[in-house]
Amino acid sequence: MIMNEWFQSARPPVHTRSNGRAPEKALFRSTRGHLIATRHVAPSDSGLLTELLSGLSAQSLFLRYCMPMPRMAPEMVAREAARLGQAHSTRQLTVVALLYVGGVEQVIAVAELARDASSPAAAEIALVVADAYQRQGIGSALISHLVTAARRHGISTLHATALADNVGVRRMVARSGAPYTAETRQGMTTIQIDLRNVGQVGAAALA
């Protein structure tokens, strides 16, 4: 599971130097008609990520991080926002979903892909969607983006670990169109997505 390593560490993450270009955006509509923009995360998104994480309910935090907490503590929010805001690299890809609400841009979801250190052809994925925008197809669209980006980077297997009660993750993976298996042990479900024979899926790639 892509966990927040900074919960136990006081050291901030090291940021990769940006090339200064604005990240390209892709657009899709949620099932409720919202026009959503997706793009690579940028270091300047730290404040928007902080707002997303601070607003997550206890249930959303539990499903994403597999640990009970009524709210994420401010210091944890700061560390996690900094971690997620690191620039795109060959090992890590983080994508945000953006929506204008009252003329103000908000990050309403974040998804990440991290290559396995021992196997560059495999990677782990994780995501979270703001409570107000769950069950609107946003998570499914982000997973499809990650699947397409993973294939373009030569990744053949994606995996995710979730609580057995988190049936939403399995539904989102199924909607990506990629074949997958799921195994549950001791309350945790491991999902393996096979990309070897998958065509282009979902919206435009974010690679």
Q: Is 108 within 8 Å of 130 (Cβ atoms)? A: yes
Which superfamily, per CATH, for 26-194? Gcn5-related N-acetyltransferase (GNAT) (3.40.630.30)
pLDDT score, position 205: 37
Helices (H) and strands (E) in the chain, counts: 5, 8
Q: Is 112 within 8 Å of 84 (Cβ atoms)? A: yes
Residues 6+ apart with CB under 8 A from 117: none
What is the DSSP secondary-structure string of 66-129? SS--SS--HHHHHHHHHHHTSPP-SSEEEEEEEEEETTEEEEEEEEEEEE-SS-TTEEEEEEEE
pLDDT score, position 21: 55
Listed residue (118, 183, 196) closest to 155, CA to CA? 196
Q: What are the sequence ranges of the domains in the chain?
A: 26-194
Rounded Cα gap, residues 144 and 187, in angstroms? 26
pTM for the model: 0.85
Could you list the pLDDT tens digit for every one of the 207 residues in the chain? Answer: 665 443 333 344 344 444 455 568 899 999 999 999 999 999 899 999 999 999 999 999 999 999 999 999 999 999 999 999 986 777 899 999 999 999 999 999 999 999 999 999 999 999 999 999 999 999 999 999 999 999 999 999 999 999 999 999 999 999 988 899 999 999 999 999 999 976 654 443 333
pLDDT score, position 77: 97
Residue 62's Cβ-side half-sphere holds a number of Cα atoms within 13 Å equal to: 10
Rounded Cα gap, residues 14 and 181, in angstroms? 35
